[in-house]
Chains A and B, each alone.
Chain A
Amino acid sequence: MTTYVGSRVARVDSVDKVTGHAVYGVDVALPGMLHGAVVRSPHPHARVVSIDISAAEKAPGVKAIVTGKDFPQLFGSAIKDQPFLAIDRVRYVGDPVAAVAATSEREAQYARDLIKVVYEELPAVTDMRLALADDAPLVHPDMHTYQRGGHDIVPHTNVNTLYRYERGDVETAFAEADFVFEGEYSAHALSHVALEVHVAVAEYDEYSGDYTLWVSTDRPFFLRDDLAGGLGVDGSKVRLKVAQVGGSFGAKGVPIAEAIAAVLARKTNGRPVKVELTREECLIASQLRVPAIMKLKTGVTKDGLMIGRSADVLWDSGAYTAYTVGVAIRGSQTIVGPYRIPNLKILSRQVYTNKGITGSYRGYGTTQVTWACESQMDEIAHELGIDPVELRLQNGYEEGDSYLNGQIMHGVGLKETVEVARDEIGWGSIDRQPAPHLRRGKGIATMIKPTMTPSSSNVVINLGGDASVQVICAAPEIGSGQDTVLAQMAADAVGVPIEDVSVPATDTALTPYNGPVASSRTTYHMGSAIVSAGAEIKEKVLALAGDFFGVDSEYLEMRDGEILDEDGERLIGLKDLLAKFHGEGFSLTAGGRYSSAGSPLLKADPGEEWISSIFWMFCTQAAEIEVDTETGAIRVVKVAASADVGKAINPMTCEQQIEGGVVMGVSNGILEDFKIDNGRIENASLADYKVATIQDSPEIVPILVESIHNEAPYGAKGIGEPAAAATPPAIGNALFDAVGIRIPDLPITPEKVLDALAAKEAEDL
């Protein structure tokens, strides 16, 4: 029985956020703090010939200037390919070259403009297809010498990731299929546009060699280790204190402002340095979604059974790999979709180009491949004359099905998500032409998403003498409500009122290791750790109560701060019980750890266990849109968005994730569009990189499906990441329903729609 789990508890960060008291990374100000500014490359690819800092050094307020020569180390996740500041060459427009610290931001920016860099331009490759050519300029000629993990690269080319997967015999399946569908789809670069810009404050203690950083991040330990690796020190020498995070969506995990702040801090005699990027810098030089070109081929029988699929996916990492190697590998597996297809062949290649860095973006590759997979599903359904909903139900996963690697899947609510979305949107009926120039249509798309596996979470729960509970863990609140759901689970696990539970801010020197707040893993993983630590606290409290009352603690229970006897009668309040120990002081702690490593649930075919996921997420979205046939403009009227969340710990925060995912999906699908010329982003402002406003937000009906996961805390899985992926294909499929056209290359802009309508008209004549 739970008191808080499953309820619409108000978020624990509510008051801080509606009153403006919440302190974000950008709000951190320390005594003596200096401000940084960064010199960035104007060229997509160039050799740095010389850097003249003499004028800048003399500028007012300047305390330190650093260049790549000061820090020749490389950092990175799967491949250590990125310098803190350009060492000898720049690889994209915006690549940091030098940095200044001064007593004010204005002085720093003034001095920055006095630094003279001489470049010798090199041939650039800014198109991922061209990057594959034999004679393509190499972005990293020394790639084969870099430290890297176990994945494959193709030395002396731009291919920084090569991955192949095969199962069954796809060629025979295509030969036996009644129909073979082939298509090429592309997903474009997107910016995360967390409203809080990238920012870090760094301090360096030259006596101890310790770095302390105040940061805004979603993965403190990954970031710490990336930084420490690049700085050439142990992880324990870098301490990260995490403030409130003003949005992340996957952006705030790799060193961006952090790297520059840390190197500047080395040269300021102990004065802290704040580096806060401008919005323009965030758009050109933080991270982007990895663009992908996806060739997809699917063999089906005439009655709609999918029997084979091959995929050739090309990903564009930009100048450095950051977290993209995993995107290219994990993402390409997901192009199979949530469908039982026995014969598969996947080729995934990722190339370097002289463009901005890309990285993880809400869904870790899922948003790209879902576009291809679900667009093609719709084409198959229409060609075969099968209802798109039925085609998905026919081929979709069910509880106990094997994933492509043989893992038996558990907690599979896919079909229910499809059915409830279908019903909510009113599938099959529509007011087709509400005005002479308007046409309406409906479309559906679904998706599957794994979570990072294996990974671990650790927590320490402390019960204080005043009956307050601190949940000490490194799971920063990035906006998705995890402080609230962790507090709810802790309150129930320990048996105290939620008002007495707090989740202190992350500090890598104090909070135990946690994987990232990413991959929709926090509720499940940290929740599991909390349930175990909370149970231990409760057991210890009940033992104290048992001693006090002279009863066997087995017959006692604690709920909502009250000690109850076996009949559920109140014996004493927790506060009163603990008051008995005040004379000697009181604090009771328990540690909890959860790791998915070694879970029997991950069992799969030999050699393919690594593809297993500790849980699987499913979301379906059905959209109704309205097309203006004179301008090509699309208005998304309504989206019915269902998600299989396992168990909703807090239905309200689940709805927030779904609604937010749909808004982001609408924005990604029809509004956001970088104009890039020879690697240079020409619309690096929020005036011209369009993010959806409340006026673009459709009616959204979030629907929670609960396919309880037996291994999960209270049955909960995850929800944050999958929520945005199905929206663009649902819109694209609705566009076909409305006016009979398809736009294979995202985004679906009015111009493309109008061109396609004109082409269709010409064809129909």
Chain B
Amino acid sequence: MTIRIDTTINGDRMEIDVDPTLTLLEVLRENLFLSGTKEGCGVGECGTCVVLVDGEPVTSCLVLAGDGDGANLETVEGLAQNGELNEVQQAFVNTGAFQCGFCTPAMVLSATALLRDNPQPDEEEVKKALGGILCRCGAYPKILEAVIEVTGEGA
């Protein structure tokens, strides 16, 4: 069985036929080859599968494909435009806010969403917003530094 969903992904509107028992994460990675979104646990506990749904970071492993219908989805692949990194991506590069990079798409997306809603978050707000994404490499200090750098409040 398939259902048709009408969705916008990184600005491209598309109608796709999907198996409704797949998760949004599986659709993105396997049907659409957007493998920048990672799966670290499959049950909402590590945060590496975060994508933006209507601007909000959500764990895409817990969303069924059908809920992609009518949604505006953003994945890490959509952040850089015309070969230019967005300001969060650029700050991650400048500060070295990643190591293995596996959580980076989720971190970058979540930080981007935070800064859209709240362009001047303090450190506690940044930590709270990113508190659901694990980084086993422990890049946290530099991730925090990167997000604060974007606010212009960094040293």
- Across the A-B interface, how many residue pairs have beta carbons closer than 8 Å? 167
Instruction: For B42, list chain A residues within 8 Å (CB).
Output: 278-279
User: Would you call A14 an interface residue if the criterion is a C-beta within 8 Å of the partner chain's C-beta atoms?
Assistant: yes
- If A19-B80, A194-B100, A660-B138 touch, whether A694 touches B144 (CB-CB below 8 Å) is yes
Query: Which residues, 31 to 58 on B, are CB-close (under 8 Å) to A?
Result: 34-43, 45-46, 48
Q: Which residues of B contact A656 (CB under 8 A)?
A: 96, 99, 137, 139, 142
A700 at the interface (CB under 8 A from B): yes
- The yes or no answer to B70 lying at the interface (CB within 8 A) is no
Indicate with 1 or 0, residue by residue over A16-31, a CB within 8 angstroms of chain B CB atoms: 1111111110110000
Whether A659 touches B38, Cβ cut-off 8 Å, given contacts A195-B100, A196-B100, A249-B136, is no
Closest to A13 in B: B101
Contact of B35 among A20, A480, A685, A691 (CB under 8 A): A20
Look across to chain A and name the residue whose beta carbon is closest to the beta carbon of B41: A279
Which of chain A's residues have a CB closer than 8 A to the CB of B94?
A: 10
Could you tell me if A692 and B138 are in contact, using CB atoms closer than 8 angstroms?
yes
Q: Is B40 in contact with A479, judged by CB distance below 8 angstroms?
A: no
B130: chain A residues within 8 A (beta carbon): 693-694
Whether the pair B93, A18 counts as a contact (CB closer than 8 A) is yes
Mark contacts of A269-298 with chain B using CB atoms, 8 A cut-off: 1 yes-contact digit, 0 otherwise: 000000000110000000000000000000
- Is B131 engaged at the interface, CB distance under 8 Å to the other chain? yes
Could you tell me if B100 and A18 are in contact, using CB atoms closer than 8 angstroms?
A: no
**When the two chains form their complex, are residues B98 and A247 in contact, meaning their CB atoms are under 8 A apart?**
no
- Size range of the interface on A? 35 or more
B128 proximal to A (CB < 8 A):
yes
The answer, yes or no, to whether A695 is at the interface (CB within 8 Å) is yes
Instruction: Decide if B100 touches A479 in the complex (CB within 8 Å).
Output: yes
B41 near A686: Cβ-Cβ < 8 Å? yes
With A196-B40, A695-B127: A15-B102 Cβ-Cβ less than 8 Å: no
CB < 8 Å neighbour of B136 from A27, A195, A662:
A195
B-facing mask of A658-678, CB < 8 A → 1, else 0?
A: 011111100000000000000
The residue on B at minimum CB distance from A479 is B100
Provide the residues of chain A in CB contact with B128, threshold 8 Å: 695
User: Is B100 within 8 A of A10, CB to CB?
Assistant: no
Q: Which residues of A contact B (CB under 8 A)?
A: 8, 10-11, 13-24, 26-27, 192-197, 244-249, 278-279, 478-481, 652-653, 655-656, 659-664, 685-687, 691-695, 697, 699-700
16 CB < 8 A contacts A-B? A10-B93, A17-B104, A19-B36, A196-B40, A245-B100, A247-B136, A278-B42, A279-B41, A480-B99, A656-B96, A656-B99, A694-B126, A694-B135, A694-B140, A697-B127, A700-B141
Q: Which 7 A-B pairs have the closest CB atoms?
A: A20-B36, A479-B100, A663-B138, A17-B101, A660-B138, A246-B102, A20-B76
List 13 extra interface pairs beyond A18-B104, A479-B100, A655-B142, CB under 8 A.
A10-B96, A13-B101, A16-B101, A18-B93, A19-B85, A20-B36, A195-B38, A195-B134, A279-B43, A663-B138, A693-B130, A693-B133, A693-B140
